């Protein structure tokens, strides 16, 4: 299903003169990968929270398919999209295996517990993400980067058609950044719709994604990464030190 925002505006402080997001009209097509880029504080996290229904629009709406998000029941939302926050408030004394099993509950009736099939899904996804060795550890005993991978694994286990990820690689080393982005790339090929925020324009190039460039709460540009991730387009946002490195055989965005 497509995701649209219609004149979406948001204020944390209802009395503030200026909204954090100002009349966003997005039209995100089913099966596409979309990277939100922009400076700290431009509104990326807020937009993802609105798409996930964790904040309510001050004005306008979020539409999944032909339904306004506010009319979709919480339980049904978990069947449509999975959300990966930047930082999670998790209970420290839950083992990773048990936490991941919660990802399967969107397909179970309220009286059912994850069974053999669900636990196999947990193991397979943990294996795919290289975290099988963490399954018996408690959430409080793993590193920030490991926790980020656990949250991503939980979202993949939900197996929804849409993934909303807030800076999913922010705490990851280069190897795991590559692993997670590669998995997102292959998941996208299965036809899922992905919306993620990132601080690294190169991630959009790697994912060959669409880009939604946000500045000061408004969408200032949109398009294919290949066309939009250009020095002349990024200097007005990120400053005059943006440049390209041609050493890789392709034009990677860097700074000097």
Contact residues toward ligand ADP (CB under 6 A) are 12, 20, 38, 40-46
Question: Cα 128–175–40 angle (5° rounding)?
Answer: 105
Contact 75, 118 (CB under 8 A): no
Give least dist CB 256 to ligand ADP, A.
Answer: 24
Give least dist CB 101 to ligand ADP, A.
Answer: 30
Give least dist CB 157 to ligand ADP, A.
Answer: 25
> How many other CB atoms are found less than 10 A from the CB of residue 21?
26
Q: How far is CA 86 from CA 55, 136, 142, 232, in A?
A: 15, 23, 16, 29
Give least dist CB 38 to ligand ADP, A.
Answer: 6
196/253 with CB nearer ligand ADP:
196
Cα 111 versus chain centre, distance:
30
The helix/strand/coil state of 245 is: strand
Give least dist CB 214 to ligand ADP, A.
Answer: 7
Question: Cα 28–29–32 angle (5° rounding)?
Answer: 95
Nearest to 151 by CA among 174, 167, 136, 133: 167
Give least dist CB 179 to ligand ADP, A.
Answer: 23
Structure tokens given for 2: 């497509």
The helix/strand/coil state of 175 is: helix
41/140 with CB nearer ligand ADP:
41
Contact 36, 198 (CB under 8 A): yes
> How many other CB atoms are found less than 10 A from the CB of residue 198?
25
Q: Report the C-alpha gap between 21 and 199 in whole angstroms.
A: 18
The helix/strand/coil state of 145 is: helix
Give least dist CB 146 to ligand ADP, A.
Answer: 23
């Amino acid at each position: 299903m497509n995701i649209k925002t219609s004149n979406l505006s948001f204020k944390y402080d209802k009395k503030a003169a200026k909204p954090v997001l100002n009349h966003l009209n997005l039209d995100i097509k089913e099966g596409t990968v979309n990277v939100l880029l922009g400076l700290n504080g431009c509104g990326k996290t807020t937009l993802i929270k609105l798409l996930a229904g964790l904040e309510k629009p001050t004005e306008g709406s979020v539409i999944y398919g032909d339904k306004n998000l506010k009319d979709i029941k919480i339980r049904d939302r978990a069947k449509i999209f999975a959300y990966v926050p930047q930082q999670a408030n998790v209970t420290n004394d839950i083992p990773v295996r048990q936490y991941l099993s919660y990802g399967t509950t969107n397909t179970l009736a309220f009286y059912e517990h994850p069974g053999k099939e669900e636990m196999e899904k947990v193991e397979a996804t943990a294996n795919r993400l290289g975290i099988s060795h963490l399954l018996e550890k408690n959430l409080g005993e793993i590193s920030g980067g490991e926790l980020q991978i656990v949250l991503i694994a939980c979202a993949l286990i939900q197996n929804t058609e849409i993934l909303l990820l807030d800076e999913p690689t922010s705490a990851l080393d280069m190897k795991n950044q590559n692993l997670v982005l590669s998995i997102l790339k292959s998941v996208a090929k299965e036809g899922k719709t992905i919306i993620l925020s990132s601080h690294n324009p190169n991630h959009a190039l790697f994912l060959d994604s669409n880009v939604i460039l946000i500045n000061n709460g408004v969408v200032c540009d949109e398009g294919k990464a290949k066309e939009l991730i250009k020095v002349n387009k990024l200097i007005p946002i990120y400053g005059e030190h943006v440049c390209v490195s041609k050493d890789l055989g392709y034009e990677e965005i860097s700074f000097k």
